[in-house]
Amino acid sequence: MTTTSHGAGAPPRPGSPATPGLGTAPGVRVRDLTVVYKTPLGELPALGGVSLTIEPGTITGIVGESGSGKSTLALSLLNAVQPPGRIKAGSVEIDGLGDVVELRGDELRRARGRHLGYVFQAAQNSLNPLKTVGKQLLDLGRSHGVEDRSALVREAKELLERMGLDGARVLDSHQHELSGGMRQRVGIMLALVLNAQLVILDEPTTALDMITQATILRIVREVHKERGLTTVMVTHDIGVAAELTDRLAVMYGGRVVEHGPTMEVLGTPRHPYTQGLIRAIPRLSGDIAEAQGLPGRPPTLGTLPVRGCVFRERCPLRMDICETVEPPPVTHGERTVACHAVERSHSTAEQEEYA
Ligand SMILES: Nc1ncnc2c1ncn2[C@@H]1O[C@H](COP(=O)(O)OP(=O)(O)OP(=O)(O)O)[C@@H](O)[C@H]1O
Ligand code: SF4
Ligand SMILES: [Mg+2]
């Protein structure tokens, strides 16, 4: 495997020269973000006022069942929600870039790629079928003002080789000559090659076999550390999140219901949904016989309750207040949880402490 050193004396990476990057790992502050999709029933919210702080330099995992809004949140970090969706309200402040929800046109295009690297879900289908990967790489470099084309190609080859591919051959290939797993790795290379400081990966290992998946996760971790990135990784696989991430955000029905250090969230989950999610995984609950599926189904945009807690149909701790009042996210220490029952147990504990 080729190893890369970007220390003193190493040639600058292609994203570095002349144009200033963010320089260091940026923090991200999502506030009251509401994203709606136009449906036959009108505009319905896929994100219902999400707030989430992503600390600089961390790998944050976003987990939750299908339809919980993970990809919509990931796209919002780039202001890349496409019609029939739109960001209706809220902000996404990224250190060094400001509120990306306010960015338009050229400013937005420059921010993506150069500062924000991303791999969309199903990235294996997002290459241009008519151009070689190398040509698409050069187009990407040109559109972001990269002057040193040979440094760009060198960097791309190195990244591909670290992911177990023949770099020169892949750059000479068209999409149809590559397997799904190879295309996915090309997507990851394109997300990293311009030296972005905030990297967003949406299910980057979904189509891959276990060994390739492990290799990719190792590379993501290594590159994150070497380059001092802030990384956000969407996954439906809690095992992957446990291995890779420092912080975990658990989504349900377009809300972040729990957020905190990964090991704490998985070790002592507080939100009833997180608890159910973990009980459903034999690998984490320890015993396959004891793994219990979460009862019921996740809501769709059409069935999402408009009042009260979005999880209440499936919640064993449901109370009267859950019918009418949406639980606000409340932070204790490093953990943020949005649940009336958790809040109540905290206030009881506090009352006892001061009694
Ligand atoms: N283009 C669209 N038009 C209408 N509704 C959409 C569109 N894209 C997403 N949605 C809806 O928004 C909600 C959130 O979708 P999103 O893709 O963000 O979920 P996800 O958590 O990424 O799911 P998955 O794990 O399946 O990728 C879902 O109810 C989904 O059906
Ligand atoms: S707010 Fe109520 S319904 Fe929602 S998760 Fe907490 S206890 Fe359950
Ligand atoms: Mg998704």
Task: Give CA–CA dist 18/265, Å, rounded.
Answer: 42
Q: Is the C-beta atom of 15 inside 6 A of ligand 1? A: no
Q: Is the dihedral of CA 149, 155, 160, 166 positive or negative?
A: positive
Is the CB of residue 66 below 6 angstroms from any atom belonging to ligand 1? yes
User: Where exactly are the structural domains of the chain?
Assistant: 27-114+237-355
Atom of ligand 1 nearest to the CA of 301: 29
Does ligand 1 come within 6 angstroms of the Cβ of 85?
yes
Task: For residue 89, report the distance from its CA to the centre of ligand 3, in Å.
Answer: 21
The pLDDT of residue 3: 35
Q: From ligand 2's centre to the CA of 292, what distance in Å?
A: 19
Burial class (CB in 10 A: 0-12, 13-18, 19+), 227: middle
pLDDT at res. 31: 97
Q: Would you tell me which CATH number, out of the four given (3.40.50.620, 3.40.50.300, 3.40.47.10, 3.40.640.10), belongs to the domain 27-114+237-355?
A: 3.40.50.300
Which segments of the chain have a pLDDT < 50?
A: 1-10, 16-21
pLDDT reported for residue 125 = 65
- Residue 24 has a pLDDT of 86
Q: Which ligand lies nearest the alpha carbon of 64? A: 1
Closest CA to 162 of 203, 118, 212: 212
Q: Is the CB of 215 under 6 A from ligand 1?
A: no
Residue 350: half-sphere exposure toward Cβ, Cα within 13 Å: 7
Alpha-carbon distance 215 to 274, whole Å? 28
Residue 252 CB-half CA count within 13 A: 28
Query: Exposure of 236 by Cβ count < 10 A (0-12 exposed, 13-18 middle, 19+ buried)?
Result: middle
Whole-model pTM: value is: 0.90
Query: Quick one: pLDDT at residue 283?
Result: 62
Indicate the helix (H) or strand (E) that contains 40: none
- Quote the pLDDT of residue 13: 61
Give Rg (Cα) of the chain.
21
Bridge partners, residue 202, by sequence: 234
Within 6 A (CB) of ligand 2 lie 272, 309, 311-312, 315, 317-319, 322, 327, 339-341
> Using a 6 Å cutoff on CB, does residue 250 contact ligand 1?
no
First to last CA, the chain: 62
